[in-house]
Amino acid sequence: MARAGALLVPLLLLASCNPPENPAERYLRFAEAARTGRSGQVWAMLSARSRQGLKERARALAGEKSPPGVEIEGSDLVLGGLAPTAPRVKSVTVLRESSDAVVLSVEEVGGLRGEVSMVREGGDWRVELPGG
């Protein structure tokens, strides 16, 4: 009986682990979080470089003398009031992929297409904002 229990524990641990998301799945979750206004999730799915760029932009917007009690954080710049207007994603296709970077082709409902870059950080795929 103890032997069966010893075998069961590793199986349960494996069953409870979710397989890592592929880049297309991760981007679909990112887009859905953006569309539904979950800025914390969007922030967490951005690359470190993109988050740093937004932090620097927030500091520049705040200026040297921001009013007391008013602080602009990089995460405040993620969505703003745009969540309701964020497009729905129709399809995501991997165009190019290496071990730590990928370029996706994203088609929105309505036919507009674009490319999105993602990088692997800490084992997860993260969205790389243009210019940041």
Q: Strand, coil or helix: what is 2?
A: helix
Q: Does any domain span residue 1?
A: no
40-49, 64-73, 85-94, 106-115: range with lowest mean pLDDT: 64-73
Range of the domain at 101: 21-128
Weakest-pLDDT range from 52-56, 64-68, 94-98: 64-68
| In a domain? residue 93 | yes
Give 76: exposed, middle or buried? Use CB within 10 Å, 0-12, 13-18, 19+: middle
Residue 64 β-bridge partners: none
| CATH number of the domain residue 55 falls in | 3.10.450.100
Residue 12 lies in a domain: no
Provide the β-strand partners of residue 114.
106
- Give tens-digit pLDDT for 7-45: 444 444 444 455 568 999 999 999 999 888 888 899 999
Rounded Cα gap, residues 88 and 74, in angstroms: 24
Q: Is residue 70 part of a domain?
A: yes
Residue 85 has pLDDT above 80, yes or no: no
Could you tell me what percent of the chain has a pLDDT over 90?
42
Q: Give the total number of structural domains in the chain.
A: 1
- Banded model confidence at residue 117, pLDDT cuts 50, 70, 90: very high
Closest CA to 116 of 107, 132, 104: 104
101 forms beta bridges with 119
pTM for the predicted model, two decimal places: 0.75
